[in-house]
């Protein structure tokens, strides 16, 4: 581990994980909650570094060993309940002078989502969820619903950041709402990966998880709708296509527009695994509506996509069969209505029950001194602590180093889009010399040359 940067020292990981405990909605923003927020930030950064550098994933192993993965689900719902039930009441009192602490609480949910996205890649992490996998399925369904709502309202059709003059006139409430929309988008994108991992590890999860996926939330249709909406692709105000990769929007020029992103591939494989899982489909009734919605995905499985993801060829054949069955007037009903016992999610309902018992007004009054009437010196002190925990310089240096290593490992004639440039004028090029197989030329510089000496790369 010494050759890689680290967010926390190896000997700190175990006590950090052991210190984690669940917090009720009324405790959010307290001193001990903020301290745990710092700990989780560092653990998330360390887990990401370990996974990305293919080290031994110590954070993940300790979370499993100490039984703390269900606690992460509790923390997700705790902040979700807080920002949907408590935050509007706080903002209704008056505009807070500083939104730093409010944003830190909202970001806590994204941080936990990032942690789960990292560790649930492994099947033993999915197994460690136990019955809390049902709660996570419910959370992901809500997050994907909010993502679809954002897309339906044109979220990707405009820039996330308003013009500077608009930001100057923005109230704190408007700023918090804008931040929440941005975080809802990021959480939704993370949940696409999380659901893919859960579907991949269904055999490690309780039987009720498969039932909840298809009977309660109809994930096959939900995933199909997301594939049509393409949340990972947008066009900026300048007309440049952008793709959502590594938790940020990156320009996509030329062939890069057609290149499948990691999240897009995971979403496709999620649909594939759902439709080809016999246990799941036994509880799923393929009626006319579902035939139509899921069958529409066949148009997205074009040659370019299948060239990059050839494992999806059976999926295209299956979807074509669904369309033919629909046109023939068939109705594949395979639903099994015999269900004697089913587990139910508990975390969200328990948090709501405890908060109602405490009283929403009492929670708001208790947290008013934390978020509204807070002293400026307290805000500055808290800002220093949390900013140090974010450790953005470490992550920026690490990501830069990682990108440089990737570029160094790519040969000039085998690079991704952007490395193929014309040897004469430097413009983007798609054809290379068939003799040397090294030099690329654009179509303009090929004028007057013997085109037999060029091959499509």
What span, in angstroms and rounded, lies between the C-alpha atoms of 197 and 12? 28
Phi, psi of 112 (to 5 degrees): -65, -40
The predicted structure's pLDDT at residue 321: 87
Q: Does residue 18 lie within any of the structural domains?
A: yes
Q: Does residue 122 lie within any of the structural domains?
A: yes
The predicted structure's pLDDT at residue 154: 85
The predicted structure's pLDDT at residue 196: 95
296 and 228 in contact (C-beta within 8 Å)?
A: yes
Per the structure, how many domains does the chain have? 1
189 and 147 in contact (C-beta within 8 Å)?
A: yes
What span, in angstroms and rounded, lies between the C-alpha atoms of 177 and 173? 6
The predicted structure's pLDDT at residue 22: 94
Distance of CA 199 to the CA centre of its chain: 15
The reported pTM is 0.81
Q: Does residue 34 lie within any of the structural domains?
A: yes
Helix (H, G, I), strand (E, B) or coil at 248: strand
Q: Does residue 411 lie within any of the structural domains?
A: no
Q: Does residue 440 lie within any of the structural domains?
A: no
Helix (H, G, I), strand (E, B) or coil at 242: strand
What span, in angstroms and rounded, lies between the C-alpha atoms of 335 and 283? 5
| Domain membership of residue 354 as a residue range | 12-327+342-391
The predicted structure's pLDDT at residue 369: 85
Distance of CA 159 to the CA centre of its chain: 19
Cα–Cα nearest to 306, from 320, 293, 323: 320
- pLDDT, one tens digit for every residue, the chain (457 residues): 446 678 788 899 999 999 999 999 999 988 899 999 999 999 999 999 999 888 889 999 999 999 999 999 999 999 999 999 999 999 888 877 777 788 889 999 999 999 999 999 999 999 999 999 999 999 999 999 999 999 998 888 765 556 666 767 777 788 888 889 999 999 999 999 999 999 999 999 988 899 899 989 999 999 999 999 999 999 877 778 999 998 888 998 888 889 999 999 999 999 999 999 988 888 888 888 899 899 999 999 999 999 999 999 999 999 998 877 755 444 444 445 554 567 788 899 999 999 999 999 999 999 988 888 777 776 677 777 777 666 555 445 544 444 444 333 333 333 333 345 454 444 555 555 544 444 555 554 554 343 333 333 3
Q: Does residue 447 lie within any of the structural domains?
A: no
170 and 228 in contact (C-beta within 8 Å)?
A: no
Q: Does residue 307 lie within any of the structural domains?
A: yes
Looking at the chain, how many residues does it have? 457
Q: Does residue 445 lie within any of the structural domains?
A: no
């Amino acid at each position: 581990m010494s050759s890689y940067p680290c967010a926390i020292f190896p000997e700190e990981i175990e006590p950090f994980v052991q210190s984690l405990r669940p917090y009720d909605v009324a405790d959010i923003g307290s001193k001990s909650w903020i301290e745990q927020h710092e700990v989780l930030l560092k653990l998330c950064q360390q887990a990401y570094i370990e996974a990305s550098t293919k080290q031994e994933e110590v954070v993940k192993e300790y979370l499993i060993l100490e039984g703390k993965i269900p606690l992460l689900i509790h923390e997700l719902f705790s902040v979700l309940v807080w920002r949907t039930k408590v935050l509007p009441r706080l903002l209704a009192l008056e505009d807070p002078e500083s939104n730093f602490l409010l944003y830190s609480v909202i970001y806590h949910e994204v941080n936990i989502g990032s942690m789960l996205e990292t560790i649930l890649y492994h099947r033993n992490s999915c197994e460690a969820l136990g019955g809390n996998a049902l709660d996570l399925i419910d959370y992901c369904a809500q997050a994907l619903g909010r993502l679809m709502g954002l897309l339906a309202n044109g979220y990707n059709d405009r820039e996330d950041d308003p013009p500077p003059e608009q930001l100057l006139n923005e109230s704190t409430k408007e700023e918090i709402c804008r931040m929440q929309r941005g975080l809802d988008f990021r959480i939704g994108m993370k949940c696409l990966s999380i659901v893919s991992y859960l579907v991949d590890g269904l055999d490690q999860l309780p039987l009720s998880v498969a039932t909840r996926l298809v009977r309660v939330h109809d994930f096959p249709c939900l995933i199909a709708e997301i594939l049509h909406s393409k949340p990972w692709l947008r066009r900026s105000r300048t007309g440049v296509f952008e793709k959502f990769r590594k938790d940020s929007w990156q320009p996509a020029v030329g062939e890069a527009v057609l290149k499948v992103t990691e999240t897009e591939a995971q979403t496709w494989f999620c649909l594939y695994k759902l439709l080809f899982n016999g246990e799941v489909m036994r509880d799923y009734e393929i009626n006319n509506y579902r035939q139509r919605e899921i069958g529409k995905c066949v148009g997205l499985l074009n040659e370019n996509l299948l060239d990059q993801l050839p494992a999806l060829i059976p999926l295209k054949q299956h979807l074509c069969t669904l369309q033919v069955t629909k046109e023939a007037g068939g109705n594949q009903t395979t639903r099994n209505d015999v269900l004697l016992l089913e587990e139910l999610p508990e975390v969200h309902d328990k948090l709501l029950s405890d908060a109602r018992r405490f009283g929403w007004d009492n929670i708001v009054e208790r947290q008013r001194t934390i978020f509204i009437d807070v002293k400026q010196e307290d805000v500055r002190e808290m800002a220093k602590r949390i900013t140090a925990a974010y450790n953005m310089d470490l992550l920026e240096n690490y990501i830069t180093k990682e990108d440089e290593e990737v570029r160094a490992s790519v040969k000039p004639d085998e690079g991704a889009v952007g490395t193929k440039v014309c040897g004469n004028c430097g413009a983007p090029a798609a054809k290379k010399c068939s003799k040397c197989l090294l030099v690329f030329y654009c179509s303009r510089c090929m004028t007057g040359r013997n085109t037999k000496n060029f091959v499509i790369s």
